[in-house]
Amino acid sequence: MFKLLGSDQKEYGPVSADQIRTWITQGRANARTQLQAAGSTDWKPLADFPEFADALQPGGSLPGPAQPPAGTPPAGAPPKASGLAIASLILGCLGLLTCGITSLVGLVLGIIAMVRISKSQGRMGGQGLALAGTIVSAVFLLLVPLPAAMLLPALAKAKQRAASIQCMNNVKQLDLALIMYADANHDHFPAGTNWCDALKPYVKNDKTFRCSQGKPGLRSHYAFNARLAGLTTKEVQAPAQTVVLFETDGGWNVSGDRALLPATPRHSGVYVIGFADGHVELVRSARLEQLHWEP
């Protein structure tokens, strides 16, 4: 007795050797059809069974016409393609739209599909699809770091730009607070020894005194031009060119001159400088000499 594996991957039997011969004559089985002998767990091509050698020869005769089970597909039909192989190729191609996320799944499915197809002994097709899905998925996974590497410098530049803008906004608010302080104190600038304390009532948030690129742990990353301490706004001859606030690595209530500027600019080679007329600029080191530090 034998079991026969149809091209629809269904098992038929047990059936007798005579029934197998009948199916061979009717074209429902051929040398490649998988057969399993009673008491065995191995599937082998029908051609490996010597008892069917005569029936497989052209013009071989069989006893008695008998019909195979209903629904038995022709033995020569191509095996059905693996669904995993198809899914692998689709997910691999979608990696172009998902930044490689689906390609990872496609790679795994492609490998599984190739293993299963290999073990099916011809009962399952789609080896080419599985291989293509595996290759496409792997290629997209390898390409994912390239756009990321190209994007990182742009992101770093954007982050630095955002930090510069925030620092300029801080100095702008402190500059405005100085003007408000002067208006409330007979046009006098605060003393250099307590200017941060003097401006606190005019500043809504203490974070305004700190730059995101400054040394951590300091209450303030800005200094006051000591040359203007205690002077009136009218004593400043060229307010649009005269420095009033600038970056420093000091701390709270720090005042002095340009010697307090950080040795290395915190914002891509430029310093954030606030002027006595209330405006703020990004100033390169070469231009510092042109600024007025004296009133």
User: What tens digit of pLDDT does each residue of 107-146 get?
Assistant: 888 899 888 888 887 778 888 888 888 888 888 777 766 6
Is cis: bond before 14, omega within 30 of 0? yes
11-15: strand order across its sheet = 11-15, 2-5, 34-37, 44-45
Percent of all residues in the chain with a pLDDT value above 90, rounded to a whole number = 38
- Quick one: pLDDT band at residue 61, thresholds 50, 70, 90? very low
CB 29 within 8 A of CB 23: yes
Write down the pLDDT at residue 71: 42
Write down the pLDDT at residue 55: 83
Q: What is the mean pLDDT of residues 254-276?
A: 93
> Is the model more confident about 196 or about 54?
196
> Is the model more confident about 202 or about 150?
202
Fold of 2-56: Dna Ligase; domain 1 (3.30.1490)
**Chain centroid, CA 133 distance in Å:** 21
Handedness of CA 124, 130, 132, 133 (dihedral sign): positive
CA angle at 165 for the pair 149 and 220, rounded to the nearest 5°: 110
Write down the pLDDT at residue 15: 86
CB 3 within 8 A of CB 50: no
CA distance linking residue 280 with residue 243, whole number of Å: 10
CA distance linking residue 214 with residue 271, whole number of Å: 12
CB 181 within 8 A of CB 198: yes
- Quick one: pLDDT band at residue 147, thresholds 50, 70, 90? low
Pairing of strands 34-37, 44-45: antiparallel
- Quick one: pLDDT band at residue 67, thresholds 50, 70, 90? very low
Residue 293: how many other CB atoms lie within 10 Å: 18
The yes-or-no verdict on residue 59 having pLDDT over 70 is no
Write down the pLDDT at residue 239: 94
Residues 6+ apart with CB under 8 A from 271: 246, 247, 261, 262, 265, 282, 283, 284, 285, 288
DSSP 263: S
Write down the pLDDT at residue 69: 46
Strand runs labelled E in 142-242: 222-225
What phi-psi label fits residue 269: left (phi over 0), alpha (psi between -120 and 50 degrees) or beta?
A: left
Residues 6+ apart with CB under 8 A from 259: none
The yes-or-no verdict on residue 74 having pLDDT over 60 is no
